[in-house]
């Protein structure tokens, strides 16, 4: 299997549909499409053609054929699209004909991988394409589109360019020192490293919003048995997702629903009521409740207004938790619970739920709101940038010029891994373009 094979894949979803899009990419695309469609249409113009079986000339389908010669195509290679009638038999027949003509089925992500290998996009943009396909909500879609469009690629590429220039200055400083010429190039490299480090550090200090938006927020509902947790989940979800009953210990497992709040995907988790349970299954449910709450971005600590607050749930009244007094249709909400003024709600009558939704929306914006900023979205980005910051700090502190060079080079490698772009040649290019060293 080679990256230079001509590949094909169904670009639209599998199954029946009005139209299915079969996509091809690779050097043989033009020849294969010409054989199948009796000639190549004009580049980037849709043309209706019969597709014929190369073996016996039988018409397989009438298709819209689009021809995208490289390098101005998605993959950078010669590519084509066949818009077929969307039935399984059509797909099988056309797929068989393409294979008979020498193309092979593409691996998952292979079109985008080729686009990356051909320099059509960097790694972060390729990740953005994947995220765009997976996006469930508006805010996710905007963030993914921005990234696919190269927002992170431009930011990280500009940092890599600056770093390359600093490294070139530093190398030149070493050269000039050998010639006993006075120079402040070394200081300039060090100052530049400090400035760059501050910028990257500021980008890292985003509170994890981009990553949270990509992953979605986890909100866990905790409380004593019968506090009304499942009732609250159902009220917020707008459907009977969890069983509600007057019997304490109804919920045994974690019940989750997906919601979108201000465009942020949220998993709302209802859990087993916290108490000293004798029952083995209930104990396991409570263990799961606690584990989910530990993982949660936000805990809703639910108390019933008509009973005294239980110590198990009080232990979860900590910064980052939202304290709720439920059943305020039965009794007035206490002024404070665990030192915090609770939000008064009734899962039964709906009282206070709009205020709760507003609180949740504000939390979603605070924790995962991207606004217009290009935020990092993956642990991979965070790890590479954290590494670059550490190398830059070493460069600033290094006393030997060679060590400054070494550490700047390491920082550049970290950025290079992030974008998949930087090789040593880039540094050499700048050294020889920006400097006339004269020896």
Ligand X SMILES: Nc1nc2c(ncn2[C@@H]2O[C@H](COP(=O)(O)OP(=O)(O)OP(=O)(O)O)[C@@H](O)[C@H]2O)c(=O)[nH]1
Q: Which of residues 22-51 bind ligand X (CB under 6 A)?
A: none
Stretch that binds ligand X, among 105-113, 190-198, 208-216, 326-334 (CB under 6 A): 326-334
Give the distance, in angstroms, between the CA of residue 314 and the centroid of all CA atoms in the same chain.
Answer: 35
From 98-106, 247-255, 281-289, 347-355, give the range in contact with Mg ion by CB under 5 A. Answer: 247-255
DSSP string, 389-436: HHHHHHHHH--SHHHHHHHHHHHHHHHHHHHT---HHHHHHHHHHH--
Which single residue brings its beta carbon nearest to ligand X?
273
Q: Which is nearer to Mg ion, 137 or 231 (CB)?
A: 231
Hey, what are 164's tokens?
């390359």
Binding segment for K ion (CB under 5 A), chosen from 50-58, 247-255, 415-423, 427-435, is: 247-255
* Residue 390, marked binder: no
First to last CA, the chain: 47
* Residues 6 or more apart whose Cβ sits within 8 Å of residue 216: 136, 258, 264, 265, 266, 267
| Least distance (Å) between residue 265 CB and ligand X | 23
C-beta of 131 vs 256, nearer to K ion: 256
Q: Which of residues 216-235 bind Mg ion (CB under 5 A)?
A: 229-230
Neighbours of 245 (CB within 10 A): 10
Shortest distance in whole angstroms from residue 231 CB to K ion? 8
Q: Pick one of Mg ion, K ion, ligand X, none as the site partner of residue 197 (Cβ within 5 to 8 A by kind).
A: none
CB of 324 to ligand X, least distance (A): 10
Residue 244 CB, shortest distance to K ion, in Å, is 6
Q: Greatest CA separation found in the chain?
A: 89
Closest distance of CB 162 from ligand X, Å:
55
Contact flag: residue 250 with ligand X (CB under 6 A) = yes
Q: Which residues are bridge partners to 324 per DSSP?
A: 302, 343
Check if the beta carbon of residue 342 is closer than 8 Å to that of residue 322. Answer: no
Name the strands in the sheet holding 47-52, side by side, starting at the edge strand that comes first in the sequence.
47-52, 59-68, 79-86, 17-25, 7-10, 104-105
In what side-by-side order are the strands of the sheet with 298-304? 255-261, 264-270, 217-223, 298-304, 321-326, 343-344
> Is 49 marked as a binding-site residue?
no
Tell whether residue 330 is a contact of ligand X (CB under 6 A): yes
Q: Which residue is nearest to K ion (CB)?
A: 250
Give the residue, chosen from 250, 283, 351, 365, that forms a contact with K ion under the rule CB under 5 A: 250
Touching ligand X, residues 219-238 (CB under 6 A) = 223, 225-231
Distance CA 1, CA 9 (A): 15
- Taking alpha carbons only, the member of 332, 347, 329 closest to residue 223 is 347
Q: Among residues 233, 198, 206, 238, which one has the least CA distance to residue 219?
A: 233
Residue 434, CB half-sphere, CA atoms under 13 Å: how many? 17
Q: Compute the Cα dihedral for 408, 415, 154, 207 and give only its sign.
A: negative
x/- letters, 190..229, toward K ion (CB under 5 A): ------------------------------------x---
Report how far apart, in Å, the C-alpha atoms of 277 and of each of 15, 21, 40, 280, 290 are.
49, 56, 73, 8, 14
Cβ nearer to ligand X, comparing 244 with 298: 244
Span of 49-57, 200-208, 248-256, 381-389 interacting with ligand X by CB under 6 A: 248-256
**Least distance to ligand X from the beta carbon of 247, Å?**
7
| Shortest distance (Å) from residue 66 CB to ligand X | 55
What the block records as the tokens of 361 is: 């929306």
Identify what 227 binds: K ion, Mg ion, ligand X, none; CB under 5 to 8 Å per kind: ligand X
- Residues 112, 251, 313, 419: which binds Mg ion (CB under 5 A)? 251
Query: Nearer to ligand X by C-beta: 244 or 259?
Result: 244
For residue 385, the partner it binds in ligand X, Mg ion, K ion, none, with Cβ less than 5 to 8 A by kind, is none
Q: Which residues are annotated as a binding site for GTP?
A: 226-231, 245-251, 270-273, 346-348
Where does this chain bind ligand X (CB under 6 A)? 223, 225-231, 244-246, 248-251, 272-273, 326-327, 329-330, 346-348
């Amino acid at each position: 299997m080679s990256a230079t094979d001509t590949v094909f894949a169904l670009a639209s979803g599998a199954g029946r549909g009005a139209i299915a899009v079969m996509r091809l990419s690779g050097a043989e695309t033009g020849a294969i499409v010409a054989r199948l469609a009796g000639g190549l249409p004009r580049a980037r113009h849709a043309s209706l053609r019969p597709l014929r079986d190369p073996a016996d000339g039988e018409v397989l389908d009438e298709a819209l054929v689009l021809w995208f010669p490289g390098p101005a195509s998605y993959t950078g290679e010669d590519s084509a699209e066949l818009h077929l009638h969307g039935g399984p038999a059509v797909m099988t027949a056309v797929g068989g004909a393409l294979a008979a003509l020498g193309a092979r089925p593409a691996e998952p992500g292979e079109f985008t991988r080729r686009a990356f290998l051909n320099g059509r996009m960097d790694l972060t943009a390729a990740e953005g394409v994947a995220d765009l396909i997976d996006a469930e909500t508006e805010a996710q879609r905007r963030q993914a589109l921005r990234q696919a469009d190269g927002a992170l690629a431009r930011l990280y590429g500009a940092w890599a360019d600056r770093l390359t220039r600093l490294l070139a200055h530093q190398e030149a400083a070493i050269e000039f020192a050998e010639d006993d010429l006075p120079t402040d190039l070394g200081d300039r490299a060090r100052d530049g490293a400090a400035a760059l480090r501050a910028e990257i550090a500021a980008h890292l200090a985003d509170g994890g919003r981009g990553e949270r938006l990509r992953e979605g927020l986890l909100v866990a509902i905790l409380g004593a048995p019968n506090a009304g947790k499942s009732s609250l989940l159902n009220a917020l979800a707008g459907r009977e997702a969890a069983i509600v009953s007057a019997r304490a210990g109804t919920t045994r497992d974690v019940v989750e629903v997906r919601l979108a709040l201000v465009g942020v995907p949220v998993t709302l988790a209802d859990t087993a009521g916290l108490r000293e349970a004798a029952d083995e299954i209930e104990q396991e449910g409570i263990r799961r409740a606690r584990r989910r709450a530990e993982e949660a971005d936000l805990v809703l600590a639910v108390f019933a207004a008509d009973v005294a607050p239980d110590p198990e749930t009080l232990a979860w009244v900590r910064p980052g938790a939202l304290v709720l007094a439920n059943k305020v249709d039965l009794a007035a909400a206490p002024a404070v619970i665990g030192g915090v003024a609770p939000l008064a709600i009734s899962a039964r009558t709906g009282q206070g739920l709009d205020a709760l939704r507003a609180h949740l929306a504000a939390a979603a914006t605070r924790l995962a709101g991207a606004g217009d900023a290009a935020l990092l979205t993956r642990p991979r980005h965070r790890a590479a940038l954290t590494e670059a910051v550490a190398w830059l700090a070493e460069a600033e502190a290094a006393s030997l010029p060679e060590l400054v060079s070494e550490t700047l080079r390491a920082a550049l490698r970290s950025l290079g891994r992030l974008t998949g772009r930087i090789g040593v040649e880039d540094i050499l290019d700048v050294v020889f373009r920006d400097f006339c060293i004269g020896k």
